[in-house]
Structure 1
Amino acid sequence: MENEAAATTLAVAGAVCWSIQLIPQIIVNYRRHHARGLHASMMFLWAIAGVPLGVYNISHNLHPALQVQAQILTALSLVTWAQCMYYNAKWSILKVASMACGIGSILAGIEVGLVYALRLAIAQHLEWPSILVAAISAALLASGVLRHYWDIYQTRTVRGISFLFVGIDALGDLTSLLSLLFRVPFDTLGAVIYGTELVLWIGIMLCGLVLGTDDSLPADLAMNGVTDVGSVPALTTASARVDSADVIGRSTSRVASSIGGSSIRSRHSNYSVFRTASLRSVLDE
């Protein structure tokens, strides 16, 4: 049943969520002055994914909020990608800014051209171009999230990602998907695009609950010579308060040896909104 008010409300909610989804992650990256655990490839794929998503939403006359939503995705993804290149790849600010602006301009030009092309195909009653664009959009969005699944498989934990960001993004997918339910005719391809990413984000959240997440290194370990919080597994603040004496008393030798390449057992937490990344290369070697 078509309900314009409900469709508008949900579409706007989806656009708002996607407008702020990456902002928590951007703030976290800025505050901790690194983006370890956050993959530049994920952000770049999302920036590109905004193009076919925008092409599809505009060409199929979905709600204007959903049309704007795709542009926001590309813009914020490029900003986050730029942070990854600045902090992780050590690019200069000038190089980061010029590359981000150049890529953004190219993607905008491609999107405009594809919108006209897809509208022409729709006018000629061709269905395969719309299916292709929707499939590419869903695949790119999914590929960005799947990059974290590979990281989870390698590290056996969820690291370097803001769960507030995950929740907001998933909520944006959900509200966008629900907005299509109140649109006649129902847009099946659009539902596939949003539904695919929603399912993958739910999987990430379940992984965080089951496997745990890494936090920053407590001061107790830093005092024992560990200076890079991204180089060893994290202890939670709560665990550090309870177990700090035990850690110092029984694990000083393990901490010292971990600097030289052996391992220390990580403890995980699900209580902090923002997670800092930590490399697991020293775990259980």
Structure 2
Amino acid sequence: MSSSSDVTLASTVLGTIGTVFWCIQLIPQVWYNWRQKKTEGLPAAMGLLWAACAVPMGVYLILQSIQYLQGSIDLLRSSSDPGWTGSTFDPDFKDILVGAVATVLLAAGLIPIYFELWKRQGRVIGLNWVFLSIDTLGGLFSLFALAAQGTFDILGGIMYIVVVLLEMGIYLSHIIWRIRFRGARKEAKASGRSLEDVLEDCCA
């Protein structure tokens, strides 16, 4: 955890933007699933693991918020009492454990998607790109918020970096798939057949 005195205006603004992104990220995915009337390619394990992650992540972020609040109290007391040296809020084993559990669950929620990619030779099915983009931006802005602080929160940084890297892998996988099967996509468009039928013939 970073020191409460390291919280800056930039880190607060960036962190708020990241939080907003992560609060609204699922709206496009829910809308997409409702329109499609199916959730093929969207593993249920992802939702379950992310739901489980919400508890330890929330606890970890609350611990950080308490730290920030303590910094404000220290600032107020130091302004009225020159002899006040401030207090410390050092992370103990329990804090680190909670953050580590949140990181593992957050990353584990994205792993099932890679099994879906493997089954479809790298093609992304069922994921809404707006949802994925918002989620990635949430991770990036949260990471930028940590970087804008005087001291980098290593555990929090790992949490956000893991998410961003795993999601970058999803983008890259689909881009590679589009390059590999560009001929099949062109054939489907020219013949009026569905892409799935053309791919089935190609891979038969």
Q: Establish whether TM, by shorter chain, passes 0.5.
A: yes
Partner of 2:170: 204
Provide the TM-score with structure 1 as the length reference.
Answer: 0.55
Q: CA deviation at 1:126?
A: 6.2
Among all aligned residue pairs of Structure 1 and Structure 2, give the percentage whose two residues are the same amino acid: 32
Are the structure 2 counterparts of residues 182 and 134 from structure 1 closer, same or farther at C-alpha, using a change threshold of 3 Å? same
Query: Is the 1:11–1:63 Cα contact (8 Å) retained in structure 2?
Result: no
Q: When the two structures are aligned, how many residues end up with a matched partner?
A: 176
**2:106 maps to which of 121, 141, 150:** 141
Are the structure 2 counterparts of residues 128 and 31 from structure 1 closer, same or farther at C-alpha, using a change threshold of 3 Å? same
Query: Is the 1:11–1:179 Cα contact (8 Å) retained in structure 2?
Result: yes
CA distance in structure 1 between the aligned counterparts of 2:178 and 2:166, rounded to whole angstroms:
17
Are the structure 2 counterparts of residues 32 and 5 from structure 1 closer, same or farther at C-alpha, using a change threshold of 3 Å? same
Which consecutive residues of structure 1, in runs of 5 or more, have no partner in the other structure?
Answer: 65-121, 214-234, 249-254, 256-262, 267-279
CA distance in structure 1 between the aligned counterparts of 2:12 and 2:187, rounded to whole angstroms:
46
1:36 partner letter: E
Partner of 1:9: 13
CA distance in structure 2 between the aligned counterparts of 1:184 and 1:151, rounded to whole angstroms:
40
Structure 1 segments, 4+ long, off by >3 Å, are 238-241, 282-285
CA distance in structure 2 between the aligned counterparts of 1:239 and 1:142, rounded to whole angstroms:
37
Higher helix proportion? 2
Matched, 1:265 2:198: yes
Which consecutive residues of structure 2, in runs of 5 or more, have no partner in the other structure?
Answer: 70-87
Q: CA deviation at 1:212?
A: 3.2
Partner of 2:92: 127
Partner of 2:156: 190
Q: Over aligned residue pairs, what C-alpha RMSD do you find?
A: 3.1
Are the structure 2 counterparts of residues 239 and 10 from structure 1 closer, same or farther at C-alpha, using a change threshold of 3 Å? farther
Partner of 2:75: none
1:149 partner letter: Y
CA distance in structure 1 between the aligned counterparts of 2:198 and 2:188, rounded to whole angstroms:
13
